[in-house]
Amino acid sequence: MNLPIGELSRRTGVKVPTIRFYEQIGLLSAPPRTEGNQRRYGKPEVERLNFIRHSRELGFEVEDIRELLEMAASPQASCHQADSIARNHLTEIDRRIASLSALRGELTRMVEECGHGRICDCRIIEVLADHGECVTEHAH
């Protein structure tokens, strides 16, 4: 396999600028280049880039992906650290869901309290102007 960057992009669903970014930050090794200075990629880069893309789709941060890639290079090692990274990510997702649920509840309450009158009497505007009017503590 001797793919130019555009074909790598098509096969993996990762945009060319993102591929270059991953190379710059060391998630993807700089590939060999042709005499015309074009990048060329092989099957290992396709597989690695698919791993990175899927990890990003699941919301993993770049540093976690870096660690997971390092672990993947040692298939006989314990998966304890990978499990720990995934569990920490799950905890963060649960925290975000709780925060979004609180936001949803607050916005639902604001909309339901709206009297559909004039802006000077608008409950939505009142609550947005004063966080103290909120019933729940939500991320702000």
For the CA atoms of 69, 74, 80, 85, the dihedral, rounded to the nearest 10 degrees, stands at: 0
Note whether residue 88 is domain-resident: no
Residue 138 has a pLDDT of: 64
Q: What is the pLDDT of residue 124?
A: 76
Residues facing 39 on adjacent strands: 33
In this structure, is residue 105 part of a structural domain?
no
How many residues make up the chain in this entry?
Answer: 140
Lowest mean pLDDT among 25-29, 78-82, 106-110, 134-138: 134-138
Residue 129 has pLDDT above 90, yes or no: no
pTM equals 0.75
Interatomic CA distance for residues 16 and 9, integer angstroms = 6
Range of the structural domain that residue 51 is part of? 5-77
Say if 124 falls within a structural domain. Answer: no
The number of distinct structural domains making up the chain is 1
- Report yes or no on 89 lying in a domain: no
Q: What pLDDT, in 10s, does the model give residues 35-86?
A: 888 889 999 999 999 999 999 999 999 999 999 999 998 989 889 999 999 9
User: Using 50, 70 and 90 to split pLDDT, how confident is the model at 140?
Assistant: very low
42: domain CATH number is 1.10.1660.10
What pLDDT is stored for residue 18 in this prediction?
96
